[in-house]
Structure 1
Amino acid sequence: MTAKPFVKWAGGKRKLLKEISSLFSDNIKTKKVTYIEPFVGGGSVLFWLLSCNQKISKIIINDINSDLMNVYRVIADQPEELISVLEIFQLEYHAFRDNPEGRKNYYYTKRSSFNLRDQQQIIHAAIFVFLNRTCFNGLYRVNKKNEFNVPIGSYKTPLICDKDNIIAVSKLLKNVIILNGDYYETLKYIDQHENCFFYLDPPYKPLSKTANFNKYSNYIFDDSEQQRLKEFCSLLNEKRISWVLSNSDLKNENQENCFFDDLYKDYNINRVNVNRVINNNSKEKNIKELLITNRLDNKKSLILQN
């Protein structure tokens, strides 16, 4: 079985895997590489990479969301224990299929328990997965107090315990270094004696002031953070390390908005088409997103420097 992301994640890269992988897959297949992903999120690119048996000697993933990274660690180290708890949650939740009020009480009790963050790691990870599978549209959003505040969804019998995928993911994560902190911490894992490659998928800059941005943590990723990330990319470039960065294309809303064009004017900016659900309505809209790279060869694949 091919492992896939174990959570739904807004802005996931499943729909852009072809475009993203075309920028670095050939080089990763032919060279020993340390792969580093500082904003792993749901891990679409990570699991594609792991499932392809690419020639990667070391993988480091990181995210500022401690609740999410706890799930990664639990799946890597204690998959069977997590499955046991999720199976119980699934049986209990499905038992309320014809009892909407009982189902709502069950969901909101679990949500309140999650926000206390006083459970054992396995239980907390299980509640995270439960909420992700049963909340509205699989969103992950927190308020300024870092409280998960997404309402219950309308799924009748959601798959809460995907046992086969958890086992598959666990096997792939066994040798992955899992971090939880500021993305600058990943710099210490750069191996000067080996090729390194970074894929960066930060919180996207909202397309407009009224855009409904889904907060993945209580950490605010504003314009100053976008600037700080660009400085991080320039530092990697100085170290002759290849990278790909994804972000929103602000020109979807305003052709005169050159924020990213100006910020990354020294690099290669690619605009790609993708269907996204905008503003939480159920209809997808075809928009453009950015894939920015620091070096390209004639075949449009990244050159990993020695």
Structure 2
Amino acid sequence: MNTTTMVPFVKWAGGKRQMLEQLYIRMPDTYNAYYEPFVGGGALVLSLAPEGAHINDINQELVHTYTEIRDHLDAILEKLMELDKVTCTREFYYDMRSSYNEKRLSHSYDTEMAALFIYLNKHCFNGLYRVNTKGEFNVPWNQKQSVRSMDMENIKAISAYLKSVTITCQDFEQALTEAKAGDFVYFDSPYAPLNPTSFDSYTKEGFTEEEHRRLAALFRRLTEKGVSCMLTNHNTELIQELYEGFLIEEIDVRRAINSDPKKRRGKEVIIRNYGEAIKPKRRTRKK
């Protein structure tokens, strides 16, 4: 394992930094290969830094940025330092967003695109990643003129670690075709909507109810193969139904990305096919 504690280089919807302690205490005692098919910001894998990890995401721009950090870090750092020297005015932000969209739409997946991906994440509203029907990144500016785009020590540690990691961009089932008995899979799965009628408007790479059912079926197949699996999601009737029979534990969470402060607290579940329920610590009264 890497001795440097790493944190995500981007803010990502559904990121698990606040849940890490809850996840740590529920990890299997031992496992062989580590798989994370919905890596997103990678809070868990980066904090654990397991050897021989396999990370995957369907978001091509995110995966491209991971591979560029691994393969061309110096060029990314040079570009980010150049961008950070400029005061991020409204005009500059939207110019950089236009430059990024030109690259995205022309499939110019180069080092500059990866640097712009990181820069926009740090300077857009709430670190969201969203594209419109034309495929253009359209998140507005966060109105902060001076934000550091990177932590130099952290991103260097990530680059070094990723050199031993298998990185893929494919469907979650394809990403797990090699998973075997004794391996561990963490599913930071796209959230099921809290309102069961809102699937049509729910868009994290178009993850539908059918996709959630396909994921649950995969979870059961992996269980039969002897693969240790842990999954996090909203605590909804659908999720409870799909993972009936597995160990389901409810925890309180904060949802920092929600624009409505009243909706920033909620319930999520951690689902496992191994282990026992974690007993809550008793509070002792001071005498």
Structure 2 residue 35 is matched with structure 1 residue 36: yes
Q: What corresponds to 1:231 in structure 2?
A: 217
Q: What corresponds to 1:304 in structure 2?
A: none
Q: What corresponds to 2:265 in structure 1?
A: 286
List alignment gaps of at least 5 residues for structure 1.
Answer: 51-55, 251-257, 301-306
TM-score normalised over the length of structure 1: 0.82
Distance 1:211 1:157 in 2: 37
- Whether contact under 8 Å (2:37, 2:176) holds in the other structure is no
Distance 2:228 2:112 in 1: 39
User: Which one of the candidate residues 148, 151, 154 is aligned to 1:162?
Assistant: 151
Cα separation, partners in 2 of 1:179 and 1:137, compared to 1, 3 Å? same
User: Which one of the candidate residues 59, 81, 88 is aligned to 1:65?
Assistant: 59
User: Which one of the candidate residues 179, 188, 191 is aligned to 2:168?
Assistant: 179
What is the letter of the counterpart of residue 171 of structure 2?
D
Deviation at 1:125, TM superposition (A): 0.6
- Whether contact under 8 Å (2:35, 2:176) holds in the other structure is no
- Whether contact under 8 Å (1:65, 1:216) holds in the other structure is no
Deviation at 1:160, TM superposition (A): 1.7
Q: What corresponds to 2:285 in structure 1?
A: none
Deviation at 1:161, TM superposition (A): 3.7
Q: Secondary structure at the match of 2:52?
A: strand
Distance 2:95 2:101 in 1: 10
Deviation at 1:111, TM superposition (A): 4.2
Q: What corresponds to 2:234 in structure 1?
A: 248
Q: What corresponds to 2:188 in structure 1?
A: 201
Q: CA RMSD in A?
A: 2.4
Distance 2:202 2:71 in 1: 29
Deviation at 1:151, TM superposition (A): 1.0
Following superposition of structure 1 onto structure 2, how do residues 1-306 of structure 1 map, counting pairs within 5 Å?
1-24=4-27, 27-28=29-30, 33-50=32-49, 56-92=50-86, 94=87, 100=89, 102-191=91-180, 195-208=182-195, 209=197, 215-217=203-205, 220-250=206-236, 258-277=237-256, 279-282=258-261, 285-297=264-276
Deviation at 1:186, TM superposition (A): 2.3
Q: What corresponds to 1:253 in structure 2?
A: none
Deviation at 1:41, TM superposition (A): 0.4
**Identical-residue share of aligned pairs (%):** 34
Deviation at 1:68, TM superposition (A): 0.2
Q: Secondary structure at the match of 2:183?
A: strand
- Whether contact under 8 Å (2:6, 2:158) holds in the other structure is yes
Distance 2:204 2:119 in 1: 17
Cα separation, partners in 2 of 1:44 and 1:285, compared to 1, 3 Å? same
Q: Secondary structure at the match of 2:259?
A: coil
Distance 2:224 2:109 in 1: 43
- Whether contact under 8 Å (2:94, 2:141) holds in the other structure is no
Cα separation, partners in 2 of 1:79 and 1:118, compared to 1, 3 Å? same
Q: Secondary structure at the match of 2:270?
A: strand
Distance 1:213 1:246 in 2: 21
Distance 1:133 1:109 in 2: 16
Spell out, residue by residue over 1:109-133, the C-alpha distance to the aligned partner (whole angstroms, 9 max, x if none).
3343344243342111111111101
Deviation at 1:235, TM superposition (A): 0.6
Cα separation, partners in 2 of 1:211 and 1:239, compared to 1, 3 Å? closer
Cα separation, partners in 2 of 1:297 and 1:269, compared to 1, 3 Å? closer
- Whether contact under 8 Å (1:140, 1:216) holds in the other structure is no
